């Protein structure tokens, strides 16, 4: 991706984080997950660290602007973990590809090209 496109994605992610920051209040005792993202040739990939979490304890809620990751960890100390993953305009959250591997949840959203569905 071009540097201008990456800068635009960064701005949109920051805007969506501010807009949806209140979602964390729904889980007052939750620990916020700090996810990172990377631009890829066909879209965007979020990497969410989920150390000591088993796959069956992970839930991903898909909305039009954010993906909400919730996980429960029972060991070494019980915790509810929540991450808000903004999905910038021009990306498709409805068909996200989600994979859990080596204590990391990978969430890929593809770029929507004008004229495609």
- What confidence tens digit (pLDDT) does each residue in 39-95 have? 999 999 999 999 999 888 999 999 999 999 999 998 888 999 999 999 999 999 999
- Residue 52 domain-assigned (yes or no): yes
Tokens of 73: 């960890």
Asked if pLDDT for residue 96 goes beyond 70, the answer is yes
The number of beta carbons lying within 10 Å of the beta carbon of residue 12 is 17
Domain presence at residue 117: no
Q: Would 35 be classed as within a structural domain?
A: yes
Residue 57 is part of a domain; what is its CATH number? 2.60.40.790
Cβ distance 65 to 50 under 8 Å? Answer: no
Domain membership of residue 75 (yes or no) is yes
| pTM score of the predicted model | 0.91
The neighbour count for residue 38, using CB atoms within 10 Å, is 11
Q: In what order do the strands lie in the sheet with 31-32?
A: 31-32, 79-86, 66-73, 58-62
pLDDT of residue 105: 97
What pLDDT, on the 0 to 100 scale, is given for residue 115? 56
Domain that holds residue 41: 3-111
Number of domains in the chain: 1
**Which residue bears the tokens 């879209």?**
43
pLDDT band at 1 (very low <50, low <70, confident <90, very high): confident
Within 8 A by CB and 6+ apart from 100, the residues are: 50, 55, 58, 106
């Amino acid at each position: 991706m071009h540097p201008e496109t990456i800068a635009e994605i960064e701005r949109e992610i920051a805007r969506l984080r501010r807009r949806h920051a209140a979602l964390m209040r729904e889980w007052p005792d939750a620990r916020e997950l700090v996810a990172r993202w990377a631009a890829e040739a066909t879209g965007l990939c979020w990497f969410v660290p989920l150390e000591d979490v088993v796959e069956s304890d992970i839930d991903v809620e898909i909305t039009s602007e954010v993906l909400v990751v919730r996980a429960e960890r029972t060991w070494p100390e019980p915790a509810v973990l929540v991450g808000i993953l903004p999905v910038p305009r021009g990306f498709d959250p409805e068909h996200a590809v989600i994979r859990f591997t080596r204590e990391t949840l990978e969430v890929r959203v593809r770029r929507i090209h004008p004229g495609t569905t």
